[in-house]
């Protein structure tokens, strides 16, 4: 006959560590109903699913929990916690599992994008000058070649503009022609807008990498630039 698990003797460290950072993550409230798993597209990848992960966490299977690469397949979309009757915060667990991996051992693609962003202001590694050159160049082409947009205005760091727009860095770097349609809409409605030169990109891979320090740095630099240098009252997320 199978032996009962003696709860008091379990060595449960990682759960407590995460709960110390996210006290309302509710891991202990799991009813094992599986609602999370039924609606999770990442279920079964690497033999893992949200319910299983929470069971393993609660049973102190820390080595297995920490080892699984499932934390990089889960997209932290939060469908599980939205559906969970006990509001167990699986995405917060995933974030902390990612953060537990030594920084240099996290996925190269994400690490590279995060580091580039800290260094240059965008995950694609395009620095301020490249960005400014590209957008001004594309704008000039539109003014010359696209009838009705001879007066199109595109600026970087125009102080006092009503709106500051971010832009996913894949557009200026890999498909600059995708910026024109957005600008044409802004021009047509008479929007008063500019791009920031500091942390201008819309993405944030440091967040994906669970690099709190890098994530925070990017946001702080951006907020400081908009509030103190540009003094714009509105920031527009373009995606």
Partner 1 sequence: MRKFKIPHKFELVTIIELYAQWIKEGKLKVNSDWNKDIKAKFTVQDPCNIGRKSGSNKIVDDLRFVIKTVVGEENFIDTVPNRDNNYCCGGGGGALQAGFPDQRRAYGRTKFNQLAVTGANYVIAPCHNCHGQIEDIGEHYGGNYHVVHLWTIITLAMGVLADTERTYLGPDLAEVGL
Contact, 103 vs 96, CB < 8 A?
Answer: no
Is 109 among the residues that bind partner 1 (CB under 8 A)?
Answer: yes
Give the whole-angstrom CA distance, residue 187 versus residue 231. 21
Contact region with partner 1 (CB under 8 A), list: 19-27, 28-36, 54-62, 202-210 = 202-210
Give the whole-angstrom CA distance, residue 41 versus residue 100. 24
Give the whole-angstrom CA distance, residue 11 versus residue 7. 9
Find the shortest distance in angstroms from Cβ 202 to partner 1.
7
Site string for partner 1, 2-31 (x = CB under 8 A): ------------------------------
Is 168 among the residues that bind partner 1 (CB under 8 A)?
Answer: yes
Site string for partner 1, 55-74 (x = CB under 8 A): --------------x--xxx
Task: Select from 34, 178, 197, 198 the one that contacts partner 1 (CB under 8 A).
Answer: 178
Is 154 among the residues that bind partner 1 (CB under 8 A)?
Answer: no
Give the whole-angstrom CA distance, residue 123 versus residue 130. 13
Residue closer to partner 1 by CB (options 15, 232) is 232
Is 90 among the residues that bind partner 1 (CB under 8 A)?
Answer: no
Task: Dump the DSSP string for 123-188.
Answer: TT---HHHHHHHHHHHHHHHHHHSTT-TT----BS-TT-SEEE-B-THHHHH-GGGHHHHHHHHHH
Give the whole-angstrom CA distance, residue 93 versus residue 200. 30
Give the whole-angstrom CA distance, residue 124 versus residue 179. 16
Q: Which residues bind partner 1 (CB under 8 A)?
A: 39, 41-42, 44-46, 69, 72-79, 82, 94, 107-110, 112-113, 142, 145-146, 148-149, 164-165, 168, 170-171, 175, 177-178, 180-182, 184-185, 188-191, 202-203, 205, 208-209, 215-216, 219-220, 223, 226-227, 232-239
């Amino acid at each position: 006959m199978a032996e009962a698990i003696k709860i008091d003797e379990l060595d449960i460290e990682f759960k407590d560590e995460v709960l110390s950072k996210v006290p309302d993550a509710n891991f202990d409230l799991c009813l094992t109903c599986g609602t999370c798993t039924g609606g999770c597209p990442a279920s079964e990848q690497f033999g893992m699913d949200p319910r299983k992960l929470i069971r393993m966490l609660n049973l102190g299977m820390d080595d297995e929990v920490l080892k699984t690469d499932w934390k990089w397949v889960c997209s932290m979309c939060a469908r599980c916690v939205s559906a969970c009757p006990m509001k167990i915060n699986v995405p917060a667990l995933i974030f902390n599992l990612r953060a537990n991996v030594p920084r240099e051992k996290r996925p190269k693609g994400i690490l590279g994008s995060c580091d580039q962003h800290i260094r240059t202001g965008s995950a694609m590694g395009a620095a301020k000058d490249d960005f400014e050159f590209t957008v001004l160049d594309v704008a000039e082409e539109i003014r010359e070649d696209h009838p009705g947009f001879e007066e199109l205005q595109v600026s970087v760091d125009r102080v006092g503009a009503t709106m500051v727009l971010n832009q996913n860095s894949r557009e200026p770097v890999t498909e600059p022609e995708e910026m024109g349609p957005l600008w044409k809409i802004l021009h047509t409605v008479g929007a008063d807008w500019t791009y920031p030169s500091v942390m201008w990109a819309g993405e944030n891979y440091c967040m994906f990498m669970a690099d709190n320090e890098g994530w925070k740095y990017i946001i702080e630099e951006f907020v400081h630039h908009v509030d103190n240098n540009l003094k714009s009252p509105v920031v527009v997320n373009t995606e």
